[in-house]
Structure 1
Amino acid sequence: MYTPSGFAIKDLDELHRQMLDTRLAMLVTHGEQGLQASHLPLLLRPEQGPNGTLYGHFAKANPQWKALQEGAEALVIFAGADAYVSPGFYPSKAEHGKVVPTWNYVAVHAYGTAEVFTDAERLLELVSALTDRHETGRAQPWTVADAPTDYIDGMLKAIVGFALPIQRLEGKRKLSQNRSAADIAGVREGLAASPDAHAQALAHLMR
């Protein structure tokens, strides 16, 4: 990922926070079948390895897991908040007019090679942890144990799990840091006034 030094996220805790905030990641591989990508909810175990370890699963019918099994490197993209930045947000537009549109965003890229597994006990632990994470906060959280055991056993046979120790992490936080203080304030105010939820999220980050 092209990342000028002023936009780079270097702090591991901040990188992990962004990954945890991204509920659906994109896993990209390049193997014998060429480029493949899947959108997956992932579980991050930050304490496992120097950069953490990612866990997830594919439908067994999705051939991408075979690329991981064959040792293909994976790129996992965690896309955060993003918003279009209009030149009209910049006070400097009125001064000299030398401004153009851009896009502000936050993103983290994780790289590594994965271990693939089909062990039922390990898969059950994974899907239970993923479910608990996303059911937290609901008035009546659903758990894997709520479904019939034989049904879950059948579902587990239809998926393939993976553990991906993160070998390299890149983070980018492009929030108009290359603009003047007045222009940054103008962007922040312009995004905050937008009816778009993504723009408002970016404005919050810029505070």
Structure 2
Amino acid sequence: MYTPSYFKDEDIASLHRQIDGTRLATLVTFDESGLLASHVPLLLNPDEGPNGTLYGHLAKANPQWKTLGAREALVIFQGPDAYISPSFYAAKAEHGKVVPTWNYLAVHVYGRAQVFTDPQRLLRVVSDLTDKHEARRPAPWAVSDAPDDYIQKMLNGIVGFAIPIERLEGKRKLNQNRSAEDITGVSKGLAASQNPTDQEIARLMSQGETRV
């Protein structure tokens, strides 16, 4: 990922927060047929290994799992993003030398996957994933709510994987390369938007996340 120094995020706690807060990640691998990608929810164990370990599962019908551990995998965690109009910049009125851009957060994770089919380990992964995403519901559903024989049948249709994180790349592109006046203009412009992700980027900028 191309990341100029002023957009680089190397704080592992910050990167882990974005990983944990991303509901759906993109898993990218390569085999003799070319590039393969799947969109999957993942769990992060931050204390397993020097950089943490990711856990997830794929359908057995998805051919990606068969070569998942053969080469390094890339997992993309996309955060909020926002289109930046030149009209937001104070510099537009000053000299007009401005163009559109995009503000966004992204984390790239690299590691070699380990595939597993042990039923108890699979059950733990799907249960933990379910608990995480049901937690805020008023009446959370749990895997144990379904009949045991049905759950076992479902587990037979998936394979699990763990990815010990070998390296991380973080990018927080929030106009750190612009003047304070331009940053204020962008933050105000996005805050006035009806788009929730625009508002989230504005919140991050107003909280001082633009500091290099």
The aligned counterpart of 1:190 is 189
Taking the aligned partners of 2:172 and 2:186, their CA distance within structure 1 comes to 15
CA distance in 1, matches of 2:33, 2:154: 26
Instruction: Give the TM-score of the pair, scaled to structure 2.
Output: 0.96
Identity %: 67
Q: Is the 8 A contact 1:192 1:204 kept in 2?
A: yes
In the alignment, is the contact (CA less than 8 A) between 1:78 and 1:108 conserved in 2? yes
Q: CA deviation at 1:72?
A: 1.8
With normalisation by structure 1, the TM-score equals: 0.98
2:170 alignment counterpart: 171
Query: CA RMSD, aligned part only?
Result: 0.6
Instruction: After TM superposition, give the deviation of residue 153 of structure 1 in Å.
Output: 0.4
Unpaired segments of 5 or more residues in structure 2?
207-212
Tell me if 1:125 matches 2:141.
Answer: no
1:114 to 2:113 alignment:
yes
Q: CA offset at residue 198 of structure 1? A: 1.2
Q: Which amino acid aligns with 1:21?
A: G
1:103-145 CA-partner distances (Å, limit 9, x unpaired): 0000000000010001101000110000010110211111010
Q: Which 4+ runs in 1 deviate beyond 6 A?
A: none
Matched, 1:28 2:28: yes
**Where do 1:38-187 residues align within 5 Å?**
38-69=38-69, 71-187=70-186
Aligned residues: 206
**Superposition deviation, residue 33 in structure 1:** 2.2
Distance 1:166 1:113 in 2: 8
The one-letter code of the counterpart of 1:57 is H
Contact residue 27 and residue 38 of structure 1 kept, 8 A: yes
What is the SS of the residue equivalent to 2:9?
Answer: coil
Amino acid at match of 1:46: P
User: Would the aligned equivalents of 1:55 and 1:164 in 2 still touch at CA under 8 Å?
Assistant: yes
5+ long unaligned stretches in structure 1:
none
